C-alpha cells in the first residue's frame, strides 16, 4: 500500500507543450490539462496576468487592444521565458489549492533537440515556480513509455510524437535514444495550411481557431474514396467584398490543404528509418511505428503514413496524454527509470 507521503507528496510531472500543458501528480494521475496560453491585461505599458489556460485560449484572436494573448511555447521550446514562468506558476498554484504539500519534486519533458541553454531555462522556471528539485526527460522517451512501448528491451522501437509545434521522430533501444530528429511540422502548421488554402482557393479568410476546428472535425490526411468525403459549414471573411460569409468545406479540400505537412511527416519517418542501424531498422519494419500526440488523431493519418512508408503504423491509445503519462511513469518508477531522468543542473 502507498504511504500517505507517497500519495500526497505533491511531486509532479509536467508536459509543457506548445499547444497544451498537462500535469501529472504522483499517485493521482493527470490532474490538469489546459492550453498553453496566457492572457495579459496591458495597462499603462505594464502587463498583468488576466487568465491562463482554457480561459485564455477562448480569447485567442478575439482580444481588444488592451488584452494580449501569448503562447509562451513555440516549436516545442520556451519562446517567452517570463510568460512561461507565469504560466507554470499559475498551474502549480491552481493544483496547490486543491492539495497541500511542501515544495514538490518536478519532472518536465523537453524536446530531444533542446539546447543546454534551453534546458537550464526550463529547469530554472520550474525551480522559481516553487519546485525543490527539477528533473528533465526527453520527450520521445516519455512518449514511448506513455504509449506502453517496450523501450527497455534490446529491440528497435520507433515513436512519432506529433504535437502542436513539432513532430519528433525517435528510435529507441535499451531505454535510450538511438536516433531522434525534430521537424517543425505539427498541428500549428496544419492549421496555417488550412488558412492559406481557404484564402487561396476560396477567397475566404478564417482565423486559426476556425482552421483548428475544421482540422479536428473533418480533417483528413488522405483523399476520401468518393473524392469528396463529409463536409462542414464554416464562417470567415469574404476577401472580395470584406463581409462575413458562410461556406461549405469538404474533406477532399482539407486533404489537399494538409498534403504538404503530411508529406513532411512521412519524409521524417523515412529519413529516420534510413538513419537507423540495419538490425534496429529491421525490428521497426516488423513491429511498426507508434504515433502519439494530438496530431496522431488527424483522420486517416495512420493510413496515409502506411501507404507512403510501407511500415505498419499504430496510433497510441490516449495519444494526447502519452507524454504526460510517460513523464508521470518516470516519476512513479524513478528508481527503475533513473537513467532516463536528468537531475543535473
Ligand X SMILES: Nc1ncnc2c1ncn2[C@@H]1O[C@H](COP(=O)(O)OP(=O)(O)OP(=O)(O)O)[C@@H](O)[C@H]1O
**Residue whose beta carbon is closest to ligand X:** 187
**Residue whose beta carbon is closest to Mg ion:** 163
Nearest to 134 by CA among 159, 165, 108: 108
Categorise residue 15: left if φ over 0, alpha if ψ from -120 to 50, beta otherwise: beta
Find the binder of Mg ion among 163, 186, 236, 295 (CB under 5 A): 163
Distances (CA, A) of 281 to 83, 109, 209, 289: 41, 26, 39, 11
Q: CA-CA distance, 188 to 191, in Å (whole number)?
A: 5
Q: Binding residues for ligand X, how many (CB under 6 A)?
A: 23
Neighbouring residues of 226: CB distance < 8 A, sequence distance ≥ 6: none
Q: CA-CA distance, 75 to 187, in Å (whole number)?
A: 10
Single out the segment in contact with Mg ion by CB under 5 A; choices: 40-48, 162-170, 202-210, 303-311: 162-170
Find the binder of ligand X among 72, 76, 146, 236 (CB under 6 A): 76
Distances (CA, A) of 188 to 210, 221, 244, 249: 12, 15, 24, 19
* 8 A C-beta contact, residue 213 and residue 235: no
Q: Of ligand X, Mg ion, none, which one does residue 42 interact with (CB within 5 to 8 Å by kind)?
A: none
Q: To the nearest whole angstrom, how small is the minimum distance from the Cβ of residue 289 to ligand X?
A: 16
* 8 A C-beta contact, residue 239 and residue 199: yes
Kindly state whether residue 186 participates in binding Mg ion, applying the rule CB under 5 A: no
Residues in region 323-342 near Mg ion by CB under 5 A: 323
108 or 198: CB nearest Mg ion: 108
Q: To the nearest whole angstrom, how small is the minimum distance from the Cβ of residue 227 to ligand X?
A: 21
Kindly state whether residue 326 participates in binding ligand X, applying the rule CB under 6 A: no
318: cell is 490516449
Kindly state whether residue 163 participates in binding ligand X, applying the rule CB under 6 A: yes
DSSP 224: -
Q: To the nearest whole angstrom, how small is the minimum distance from the Cβ of residue 253 to ligand X?
A: 16
Q: To the nearest whole angstrom, how small is the minimum distance from the Cβ of residue 267 to Mg ion?
A: 20
Q: Of ligand X, Mg ion, none, which one does residue 309 interact with (CB within 5 to 8 Å by kind)?
A: none
Cα dihedral 209/214/215/220 (nearest 10): -170
| Matching residue, cell 487568465 | 51
Find the binder of ligand X among 297, 318, 332, 334 (CB under 6 A): 297
Q: To the nearest whole angstrom, how small is the minimum distance from the Cβ of residue 327 to Mg ion?
A: 10
Q: Give the Cβ contact number of residue 280 at 10 Å.
A: 20
Distances (CA, A) of 179 to 40, 118, 168, 212, 249: 40, 20, 10, 31, 39
Let me know how long the chain is.
345
Single out the segment in contact with Mg ion by CB under 5 A; choices: 12-20, 97-105, 218-226, 241-249: 12-20
Find the binder of Mg ion among 10, 13, 17, 51 (CB under 5 A): 17
50 or 301: CB nearest ligand X: 301
Kindly state whether residue 166 participates in binding ligand X, applying the rule CB under 6 A: yes
Kindly state whether residue 164 participates in binding ligand X, applying the rule CB under 6 A: yes
Single out the segment in contact with Mg ion by CB under 5 A; choices: 50-58, 114-122, 158-166, 282-290: 158-166
Beta pairing, strands 231-238 & 38-43? unpaired
Q: Of ligand X, Mg ion, none, which one does residue 85 interact with (CB within 5 to 8 Å by kind)?
A: none
* 8 A C-beta contact, residue 308 and residue 266: yes
34 or 283: CB nearest Mg ion: 34
Find the binder of ligand X among 219, 229, 236, 326 (CB under 6 A): 219
Single out the segment in contact with ligand X by CB under 6 A; choices: 161-169, 238-246, 248-256, 261-269: 161-169
DSSP 268: H
Q: CA-CA distance, 65 to 60, in Å (whole number)?
A: 12
Binding-site ranges for ligand X (CB under 6 A): 17-20, 73, 76, 163-166, 186-188, 212, 215-216, 219, 293-295, 297-298, 320
Amino acid at each position: 500500500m502507498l504511504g500517505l507521503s507517497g500519495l500526497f507528496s505533491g511531486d509532479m510531472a509536467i508536459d509543457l507543450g506548445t499547444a497544451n500543458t498537462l500535469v501529472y501528480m504522483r499517485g493521482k494521475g493527470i490532474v490538469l490539462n489546459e492550453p498553453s496560453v496566457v492572457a495579459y491585461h496591458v495597462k499603462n505599458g505594464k502587463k498583468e496576468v488576466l487568465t491562463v489556460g482554457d480561459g485564455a485560449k477562448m480569447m485567442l484572436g478575439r482580444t481588444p487592444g488592451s488584452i494580449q494573448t501569448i503562447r509562451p511555447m513555440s516549436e516545442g521550446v520556451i519562446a517567452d521565458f517570463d510568460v512561461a514562468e507565469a504560466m507554470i506558476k499559475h498551474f502549480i498554484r491552481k493544483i496547490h489549492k486543491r492539495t497541500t504539500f511542501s515544495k514538490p519534486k518536478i519532472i518536465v519533458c523537453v524536446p530531444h533537440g533542446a539546447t543546454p541553454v534551453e534546458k537550464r531555462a526550463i529547469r530554472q522556471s520550474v525551480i522559481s515556480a516553487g519546485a525543490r528539485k527539477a528533473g528533465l526527460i526527453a520527450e520521445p522517451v516519455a512518449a514511448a513509455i506513455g504509449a506502453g512501448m517496450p523501450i527497455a528491451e534490446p529491440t528497435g522501437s520507433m515513436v512519432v510524437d506529433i504535437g502542436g509545434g513539432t513532430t519528433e521522430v525517435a528510435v529507441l533501444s535499451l531505454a535510450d535514444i538511438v536516433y531522434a530528429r525534430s521537424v517543425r511540422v505539427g498541428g500549428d502548421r496544419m492549421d496555417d495550411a488550412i488558412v492559406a488554402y481557404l484564402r487561396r482557393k476560396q477567397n475566404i479568410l478564417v482565423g486559426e481557431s476556425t482552421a483548428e476546428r475544421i482540422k479536428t472535425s473533418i480533417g483528413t490526411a488522405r483523399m476520401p474514396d468518393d473524392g469528396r468525403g463529409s463536409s462542414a459549414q464554416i464562417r470567415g471573411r469574404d476577401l472580395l467584398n470584406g463581409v462575413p460569409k458562410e461556406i461549405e468545406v469538404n474533406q477532399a479540400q482539407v486533404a489537399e490543404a494538409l498534403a504538404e505537412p503530411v508529406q513532411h511527416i512521412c519524409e521524417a519517418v523515412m529519413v529516420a528509418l534510413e538513419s537507423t542501424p540495419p538490425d534496429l531498422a529491421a525490428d521497426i519494419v516488423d513491429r511498426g511505428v507508434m504515433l502519439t500526440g494530438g496530431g496522431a488523431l488527424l483522420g486517416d493519418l495512420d493510413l496515409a503514413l502506411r501507404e507512403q512508408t510501407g511500415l505498419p503504423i499504430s496510433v497510441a491509445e490516449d495519444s494526447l496524454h502519452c507524454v504526460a503519462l510517460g513523464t508521470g511513469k518516470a516519476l512513479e518508477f524513478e528508481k527503475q527509470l533513473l537513467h532516463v531522468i536528468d537531475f543535473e543542473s
